[in-house]
Amino acid sequence: MNALKKAGNSVNTFAKKWAEFVIKFKWPVLLLTILLALGLASQGKMEFDGDYHVFFSESNPELEAFDALQEKYTKDDNIVIVLAPDNGEIFTKENLVAIEELTASAWNTPYSSRVDAVTNFQHTSAVGDDLYVDDLSYESATKTDAEIMEIKAKALKEPLLLHRIINEKGSVTAINVTVRLPGVDSAAEIPEVTVATRKMVDEFKEKHPQFKVYTTGLVPLNTAFFEASQSDLALIGIMLLIVVAVTFLLTRNFFATLSTLVVVLFSIMSAVGFIGLTGIKLTPPSAVFPTMILTLAVADSIHILVTMLQKARKDGMDKKEALIESMRLNFMPVFITSLTTVIGFLTMNFGDVPPFWHLGNITAFGMAMAFLYSTTTLPALMAIFPLWKKKGAIKKEEKIGMYTKLGLFVIRQPARLAVISLVVIGGLTYLATLNVFNDEFVEYFDDSVQFRRDSDFINDNLTGFYNVEFSVGSGESGGINNPEYLQKLNAFEDWLNDQSEVVHVNAFSEVARRVNRSMHGDDQTYYRVPDNREEAAQFLLLYELSLPFGLDLNNQINVDKSETRVTATLKNISSAEMIAFSARAEEWLGNNTDEPMHSIGVSPTMMFSKLGFRQADSMFNGNIVALILISLVLMLALRNFKLGLLSIIPNVTPVLVGFGIWALYKGQINTGMVIVFGMTLGIIVDDTVHFMSKFLRARRELGYDAKQAVIYAFETVGRALVTTTVVLLSGFAVLSTSSFALNSYMARITVIIITAALIIDFLLLPALLILSSRKEEEIEVIPNQLKPELKLDK
Amino acid sequence: MKKSILTVAAFSVISLALAQTPEERGLEIAKAAELADEGFGSSSVELKMVLKNKNGQTSERTMTTRTLELTEDGDKSLIAFGSPKDVKGTATLTYTHKVGSDDQWLYLPSIKRVKRISSNNKSGPFVGSEFAYEDLSSQEVEKYTYKFLEAKGNLLLVEQDPVDPKSGYTRRIVTYNKDKGYRIEKVEFYDRKNALLKTLTYSDYKLYKNKFWRAATFNMVNHQSNKETLLKFSDYDFGVAFSEDDFSQVALQRAGK
């Protein structure tokens, strides 16, 4: 113990020497830190990446499976433009002409490889003895009313169109533009496509005001991610205002506020430099870094400034003395809290979702720099700025403060409080287990986002946004023409169509049936897959020879004609339902087909569905590491093994409470929330450190018993804890206004957790501290014995 | 035939007299190329097609192609599939027309029927390959408008814009080799949004009958999908003298046997 105490003393001496050094060389220190901040900022570069692929690590098995499928067929990112004419009827000459026009201009979309619309649908029919394949409505301007009625009848009967390109009433239609993004620089390619699409849609709306136009698809999804990053980055503006207001309120000093602002801005500038140096591209989760850093870094400055001003105003110390004393008292706590926060954020690297690695690393770097600036730039600035003292500001509070009252309340009934708290925590922990993962990426965006509103309209009126794809193999070259394969594929298609989740199925068996029928004079009894392999192969050859540019079958048949792609479009269902559906389909293939036809369901939807689970699994180890490291830091900081262990309770339970309350609030958690354990642990541990260290100081240095020490801790840090909690809450409250659920849910549950942490630190922690010191002699605590002056000893 | 020689001769004389526009120069080169290849009569060649996707997975087809040269109208050609097994005996017959859509039929041995192929769709891929039917059909001068771009030594670059509105391309940039009978070395295809879609490179040229250059290898690379298709021609046979009867629907049914 002695050696450690010496270490503690040497820290005090070190902090004092540091402060004296900084004050002595205030100008060089200030200049150096300015150069450091500007130097880092000059390396800064903020680029955004909206490609949904960024959410998946390279080794993500769902991503690998989906990429493999895309390489086998075609890589399809798409833009779905949905048109709803005011007259509620797609099939009028005027509307068809407009659709044809938009289809033609859609071919000019950058990187487009295919455009599917109702008008250019390749309709097959028998004309005489020949197979005739042509656009369903070509040169619509020349059509008569009777012809248009015929086109309508054909379209509404067409399985490939209905519920995909056209709705049952014929009142809403889609144009699906497939783009093949080179993927060299998605930060440039996606905006290029988006700008072109928006321009095209605007021109269309101007020319044809009778249409309402909605846009969805993977490219607009990427754009929505992109724009969410930018709008969340912009939250920093509000946060800066809050920081200025809170700092001014707490310090009542202009220069203190200004210095704090300098420290947090330097921290953010450094973090931006870090982004530039590491080449990180910002994504919605990582774009919140400035608000995070701002929220967390401001606490360091506030601690140092409040103590300094207190020493100067109430103890009448001069500026330099007050500054050195404040640094001596706060150096260690600020260091410890920064260290735990950095550890908490770094554990995000254990997860499987790259944007959160970035968030963790950027914020950790920013926090490390915040510590540096808080202990250099801040004291240097305060040493330079004058300190205006108000005469008569020094007054002693004689009445018992509210924190003392709270302390008295706790020490009167520690056992009861402990039991009640633990029961409540136990109940909420049970509730926490009821949360289910849900990463429906459309619902990442709230109603304020156009993409969400448009996607909802399309889901309600035309088709689904989510899908699952299967690459169904035949096991031999050219085997897709094997009648046995076709029949089983057809059975799979039928089975999929029977599932309640399924809106539409696109399978090669439908092509085979359709061509077979047209080869037999459009005889409906031949609307079945061919029963002879040569026939199937030769019909397919004929059909393929009859297709125009861009509307070929390469997107659903592989080069070897050994596998075909089955796409099931689904209703809006939760991630759990999605996974269950895919498992059912895989099982059906397993039970009803031979081995080569077995396949697993893949798609972006599936990738997101499993992302939360994957992140939770991989973060589990990270959380354990965070807990162990942070508990170790606490043990060393407090120089007490037992209390270090005890601290695990107030450090872990807020998260359980948070998720318990969340179960009552939403019940669904997303990938963004998985990281909160490590992150909040690093933040809320500060409360515990402050409270326990004051408790220990009272026991060790002042010789108080457990109950007196609790009162002492309340009096000395009660206010500081509430203050920092308020700052943190306002920061995360700002983030919770994000339109992007990965961020807003994360921020909301953090708000709950931080609040819970404060309550637990004020009720359960002191109760446990008293109970664990039970064996010692009880001393009657008389409130009046506790002198308010103790407060000044913070 | 005579008529076109006269046209070209007349054209050359005029072009000497007057400064040519790039359009005239382009047309002149296309005509010179046509002229240089005139008179081969008929030919027959075995062909192997290798389809390759991004991952290098391949798939092969073999076929036999016969061509009959016609001058009043476009050439006639017949392609018979040898493999894959399930399409063996299937054959296409094409009558190219200088003006208007080509006529095309397919013989399906499984049902022993000849079917006409929709004439207005010819921009789609030929049997799943990176070649469109329009890339393989006879290159009649009348099917494009021309613009000479530049000369790089003996290589002449000419832009060709398809006349057919249903073509999959806005333009092609064709590289002719002036010193080797105006044979084509390379064609670049631009899609409807005028982005480079594919490049076709001709190699392993051989001179037949001291006049006709024929490439043994065609390599088509799709820059957007990263897929490619290789055509390997074995030796050309100019010995068989085909007649119009060998390019009838009846002949089509026999072709694959």
The shortest CB-CB distance from B166 to any of A478, A538, A548 is to: A548
More confidently predicted of A92 and A716: A92
- Pick the closest to residue A355 from A741, A54, A51, A678 (CA basis): A54
In whole angstroms, what is the distance from residue A536 CA to residue B85 CA? Answer: 12
Is residue A786 pLDDT above 70, yes or no? no
Question: Hey, of B54, B58, B79, B115, which one would you mutate to test binding to chain A, going by the most A CBs within 10 A of its CB?
Answer: B115
In whole angstroms, what is the distance from residue B54 CA to residue B229 CA? Answer: 11
Mean per-residue pLDDT for A300-317? 83
Q: What is the 3-state secondary structure (H, E, C) of A626-695?
A: HHHHHHHHHHHHHCCHHHHHHCHHHHHHHHHHHHHHHHHHCCEECHHHHCHHHHHHHHHHHHHHHHHHHH
Please state the length of chain A: 794
Q: Nearest chain B residue to A122 by CA: give it.
A: B121
Distances (CA, A) of A790 to A44, A125, A323, B99: 46, 94, 19, 103
Q: What is the pLDDT of residues A212-270, one digit of tens each?
A: 999 999 899 989 988 888 888 888 888 889 888 888 888 888 998 999 999 999 999 99
Task: Mark yes or no for CB contact A477/B110 under 8 Å.
Answer: no
> Do residues A579 and A610 make contact, with C-beta atoms less than 8 angstroms apart?
yes
Q: Tokens standing for A44?
A: 């800064």
Q: What confidence score (pLDDT) does residue A789 get?
A: 37
Is residue A777 pLDDT above 50, yes or no? no
Is residue A781 pLDDT above 60, yes or no? no
Whether B111 and chain A come into contact, CB under 8 Å, resolves to yes
Q: What confidence score (pLDDT) does residue B7 get?
A: 60
Q: What is the 3-state secondary structure (H, E, C) of B114-130?
A: EEECCCCCCCCECCCCC
In whole angstroms, what is the distance from residue A353 CA to residue A671 CA? Answer: 8
In whole angstroms, what is the distance from residue A246 CA to residue A723 CA? Answer: 9
Is residue A393 pLDDT above 60, yes or no? no
What SS3 class is residue B188? strand
Which residues, in sequence order, are CB contacts of A652 under 8 Å at separation 6+? A627, A681
> Do residues A639 and A5 make contact, with C-beta atoms less than 8 angstroms apart?
yes
Q: What confidence score (pLDDT) does residue A592 get?
A: 93
pLDDT category at B5 given cuts 50, 70, 90 is: low
> Do residues A407 and A304 make contact, with C-beta atoms less than 8 angstroms apart?
no
Residues of A in contact with B124 (CB under 8 A): 544-552
> Do residues A562 and A512 make contact, with C-beta atoms less than 8 angstroms apart?
no
Let me know if A332 is exposed, middle or buried by CB neighbors in 10 A (0-12, 13-18, 19+). Answer: middle
> Do residues B182 and B176 make contact, with C-beta atoms less than 8 angstroms apart?
yes
Which residues, in sequence order, are CB contacts of A58 under 8 Å at separation 6+? none
Is residue A700 pLDDT above 50, yes or no? yes
Residues of A in contact with B132 (CB under 8 A): 549
Find out whether the peptide bond into B84 is cis, omega within 30 degrees of 0.
yes
Whether B16 and chain A come into contact, CB under 8 Å, resolves to no
Which residues, in sequence order, are CB contacts of A351 under 8 Å at separation 6+? A357, A615, A618, A619, A622, A674, A675
Q: What confidence score (pLDDT) does residue B142 get?
A: 83
Which residue matches tokens 């993962």? A437
Task: Mark yes or no for CB contact B124/A132 under 8 Å.
Answer: no
Percent of chain A with pLDDT over 70: 95
Question: Hey, of A474, A538, A552, which one would you mutate to test binding to chain B, going by the most B CBs within 10 A of its CB?
Answer: A538
Q: What confidence score (pLDDT) does residue A389 get?
A: 58
Q: Tokens standing for A776?
A: 């010692």
Q: Tokens standing for A547?
A: 């297709």
Is residue A152 pLDDT above 70, yes or no? yes
Is residue A399 pLDDT above 80, yes or no? no
Q: What confidence score (pLDDT) does residue B27 get?
A: 86
In whole angstroms, what is the distance from residue B189 CA to residue A722 CA? Answer: 69
Q: What confidence score (pLDDT) does residue B9 get?
A: 56
What SS3 class is residue A558? coil
Q: What is the pLDDT of residues B50-108, one digit of tens each?
A: 988 777 788 888 998 888 888 778 888 888 888 888 888 888 888 888 887 788 888 88
Q: What confidence score (pLDDT) does residue B136 get?
A: 80
Residues of A in contact with B109 (CB under 8 A): 534, 538
- Pick the closest to residue A551 from A496, A493, A503, A511 (CA basis): A511
Is residue A4 pLDDT above 60, yes or no? no
Q: What is the pLDDT of residues A23-54, one digit of tens each?
A: 888 899 999 999 999 999 998 888 888 888 88
Q: Tokens standing for A587?
A: 């099982």
Is residue A157 pLDDT above 60, yes or no? yes
Q: What confidence score (pLDDT) does residue A775 get?
A: 53
pLDDT category at A774 given cuts 50, 70, 90 is: low
Residues of A in contact with B120 (CB under 8 A): 134, 548
Question: Hey, of B51, B103, B114, B193, which one would you mutate to test binding to chain A, going by the most A CBs within 10 A of its CB?
Answer: B193
In whole angstroms, what is the distance from residue B145 CA to residue A23 CA? Answer: 82
Q: What confidence score (pLDDT) does residue A504 get?
A: 92
Q: What confidence score (pLDDT) does residue A82 get?
A: 93
Neighbours of B211 (CB within 10 A): 13
Task: Mark yes or no for CB contact B117/A558 under 8 Å.
Answer: no
Task: Mark yes or no for CB contact A549/B132 under 8 Å.
Answer: yes
Helix (H) or strand (E) holding B203: strand B196-208
Residue type, A441: F
The shortest CB-CB distance from A548 to any of B54, B109, B121 is to: B121
Helix axes A676-700, A319-346, angle to 10 degrees: 140
Q: What confidence score (pLDDT) does residue B12 get?
A: 56
Q: What is the pLDDT of residues A90-115, one digit of tens each?
A: 999 889 999 999 998 999 899 988 89
Task: Mark yes or no for CB contact A542/B195 under 8 Å.
Answer: no
In the structure, how many helices (H) and strands (E) does chain A have?
28, 11
Q: What is the pLDDT of residues B168-226, one digit of tens each?
A: 889 999 998 888 888 888 999 998 888 899 999 999 888 888 888 888 999 999 998 88
Q: Nearest chain B residue to A549 by CA: give it.
A: B124
Q: For all residues of chain A together, what is the average pLDDT?
A: 87
More confidently predicted of A107 and B17: A107
Our CA-based measurement puts residue A426 at a distance from the nearest CA of chain B, in whole angstroms, of 54
* Least confidently predicted of A52-61, A161-170, A777-786, B147-156: A777-786
Is residue A392 pLDDT above 50, yes or no? no
Q: What confidence score (pLDDT) does residue A3 get?
A: 44
Whether B225 and chain A come into contact, CB under 8 Å, resolves to yes
Q: What confidence score (pLDDT) does residue B121 get?
A: 63
The shortest CB-CB distance from A71 to any of B54, B58, B128 is to: B54
Q: What confidence score (pLDDT) does residue A299 get?
A: 82
Q: Nearest chain A residue to B129 by CA: give it.
A: A559
Which residues, in sequence order, are CB contacts of B153 under 8 Å at separation 6+? none
Q: What is the pLDDT of residues B22-46, one digit of tens each?
A: 888 888 888 888 888 888 788 888 8
Please state the length of chain B: 257
CATH domain B23-256 topology: outer membrane lipoprotein receptor (LolB), chain A (2.50.20)
Q: What is the pLDDT of residues A605-647, one digit of tens each?
A: 889 888 888 888 888 888 888 889 888 888 888 888 888 888 8
Please, how many CA atoms are within 13 Å of residue A98, restricted to the half-sphere of its CB?
26
Task: Mark yes or no for CB contact A541/B106 under 8 Å.
Answer: yes
> Do residues B115 and A538 make contact, with C-beta atoms less than 8 angstroms apart?
no
pLDDT category at B16 given cuts 50, 70, 90 is: low
The shortest CB-CB distance from B86 to any of A533, A549, A551 is to: A533
Q: Tokens standing for A435?
A: 């949360």
Task: Mark yes or no for CB contact A560/B59 under 8 Å.
Answer: yes
pLDDT category at A792 given cuts 50, 70, 90 is: very low
Beta carbon pairs, A and B, within 8 Å: 136
Residues of B in contact with A107 (CB under 8 A): 192-193
Q: What confidence score (pLDDT) does residue A720 get?
A: 80
Q: Nearest chain B residue to A183 by CA: give it.
A: B224
Is residue A787 pLDDT above 50, yes or no? no
Residues of B in contact with A546 (CB under 8 A): 117-118, 121, 124
